[in-house]
Amino acid sequence: MTLLFAHRFVSRLILPVLLAVVLVLGPSAPAQALGGEQVPLGTPAPGFTLPTNVGDGEISLADYLGQWVVLYFYPKDFTPGCTLEAQRFQRDLPEFIERNAQVIGVSADDVDSHAEFCDSEGLRFPLLADADGAVSRAYGSWMKPMSMRHTYLIDPDGTMQERFLGVRPAIHSQEVIARLDELQA
């Protein structure tokens, strides 16, 4: 009787959940759960140059040497969680500026989508278009066809100092500020 109960439990509860994960994330779901291999803390952050909706039309990580960089990856413009996260970063932008930190968002959306998103939400920080996911992959933040919700703190020398995985959009900006304060102390 116990064996029959275990079989029913697995077939009715566990297998459907596993099947759903595989269908949503693909057959290598566990390997993709965190988006790939993470850049080790204390090592140089991967360099990049990506198109943006502001300024000269391209931004490189090297443009921000001498400043802290809050590099946040997000799945898609105009979705509820991504909108909330962007709004919180915008609300707290003066606090980041006080800490010599630049907020930069990255997703697979194109430059036109980013321009509309910035206009719609009043965003005053750059959003970068990582259409092929190359930069997201370099940071371990890619789950085709989109970037994952991860954030990285890069110091003024270009060194990876912190990573945030499993971000909660409503409180994330304040978490980043608190960690930035600890790192700058």
Confidence (pLDDT) at 35: 63
Q: What's the whole-model pTM score?
A: 0.81
Read off the pLDDT of residues 23-49 as tens digits, 9 standing for 90 and up.
344 333 333 445 678 999 999 999 999
Q: Which residues are catalytic?
A: 82
Could you please report the per-residue DSSP string of the chain? Answer: -HHHHHHHHIIIIIHHHHHHHHHHH-TTHHHHTTSSPPPPTTSBPPP-EEEBSSTTSEEEGGGGTTSEEEEEE-S-TTSHHHHHHHHHHHHTHHHHHHTTEEEEEEESS-HHHHHHHHHHHT--S-EEE-TT-HHHHHTT-EETTEE-SEEEEE-TTSBEEEEE-S--HHHHHHHHHHHHHHHH-
